Amino acid sequence: MRTFIAIDVNEQVRDVAMQIVEKLMRRGFKANWVSRENVHLTLFFLGEVDPKKVDEITRHLYDRIKGFPSFYYHVEKLGYFVKNNKPAVIWLGVRTNQALQKLYEEMEAELSKHNFSFEKKFTPHITIGRVKDPLPPAWKALLEDITYEPILVAVDRFAVYSSTLTPSGPIYKKLYECQFEGGVIKYE
């Protein structure tokens, strides 16, 4: 099954994400927009993984981060990744801090033991859309003038999701929620 590991966001982040999506749509941007319920901070995309291996990896990750201290991160800007001199992905920026970086490194070290490999540069962000052509004129200015007040997000867990691709967009299903201090919840 197509699997990823993420940190859920709060309702304030979801509200801002949807307000920005509406604004970008009014400005003429076409994209595969992320639905409100699918807004999250991806830590790792694992790809196609056997369900039994997902269970095993989740247990190992939880054992590794059990007791990790709760922390906060800031969501604070709008940005985009460029491909062929055009925006490919539009995202809400996440300010990296030591705790978020350490969580990523601990999980990456555990996942590497299970033969997963990732880019060494961690760029935390919350994807809100994958851009399609054509772009509106002056697209850069239309993106760069969008601002919002920074949002503080509390973190005391991570989740493991499956992702099923459909013509109307991906369907995410939470498989596990691993609380730093409270154990593992398995969803059916």
Classify residue 85 by its DSSP letter.
T
Query: What pTM was estimated for this model as a whole?
Result: 0.93
Specify the pLDDT at position 119. 79
Specify the pLDDT at position 11. 98
Query: What does the pLDDT profile of the chain (188 residues) look like in tens digits?
Result: 999 999 999 999 999 999 999 999 999 999 999 999 999 999 999 999 999 999 999 999 999 999 999 999 999 999 999 999 999 999 999 998 999 999 999 999 999 999 998 877 899 999 999 999 999 999 999 999 999 999 999 999 999 999 998 888 889 999 999 999 988 999 97
Tokens, residue 146: 């969008």
Q: Across the chain, which distance is largest between two alpha carbons, in Å?
A: 51
Looking at the annotation, which residues are catalytic?
Answer: 40, 125
Where in the chain are the domains? 2-186
Beta carbons within 10 angstroms of residue 8's beta carbon: 17
Specify the pLDDT at position 166. 87
- Fold classified for 2-186: Cyclic Phosphodiesterase; Chain: A, (3.90.1140)
Specify the pLDDT at position 182. 85
Q: Give the separation between CA 12 and CA 2, rounded to whole angstroms.
A: 28
Classify residue 133 by its DSSP letter.
S
Q: Give the separation between CA 125 and CA 80, rounded to whole angstroms.
A: 10
Closest CA to 78 of 29, 137, 38, 5: 29
Which stretches does DSSP call E strand in 111-170?
A: 125-132, 151-155, 157-164
